[in-house]
Structure 1
């Protein structure tokens, strides 16, 4: 992708910015490392060498059927690891595990 400014000078091109998929894997809704056994809340870690919170982002994409009540996984990029949670850590009353089926984790690294 190339982007030019109002003055016609290149602002962004393939030589100044790259964005690549560092990891793509299906995450099943099972096999979690449980941190709250009362509610079944937990996480899974996925090795992703070279990724950091400063140079990467992660998302999960549904690969199955969903309805209005389906809750999905949450991601966090750490140094060399992407952590996927089976609950929403930021939701104050979110004390239930995700109801989603398998989801695809996509980790993107940029420079």
Structure 2
């Protein structure tokens, strides 16, 4: 059953992750293991997209995500304060990419959302 669903969930998730480049309102990806959606935020989706595109390290994922966000004149907010500089935004994304690697990526791999 998982093998049959995986091709479909991979296609759907790739589509949803690609949409994360321009929007942040899709907060779930599909798991063929559970047959349900799993909460995955926009930044984490951008990190997954960076991985799909061959970026291997959290620093590369953060840089990729920042390029996407900067092109849209978007800035991150930390503790209620807008991060103004590119370096501040990148550093926050790097922190999030590191946490993603340590706490979420292995779960998404086990759920066959990421590989």
Please report the TM-score for the alignment, with normalisation by the length of structure 2.
0.24
User: Which protein is richer in helix relative to its size?
Assistant: 2
User: Which protein is richer in strand relative to its size?
Assistant: 1
Structure with larger Rg: 1
Structure with bigger RCO (C-alpha 8 Å, 6+ apart): 1
Please report the TM-score for the alignment, with normalisation by the length of structure 1.
0.25
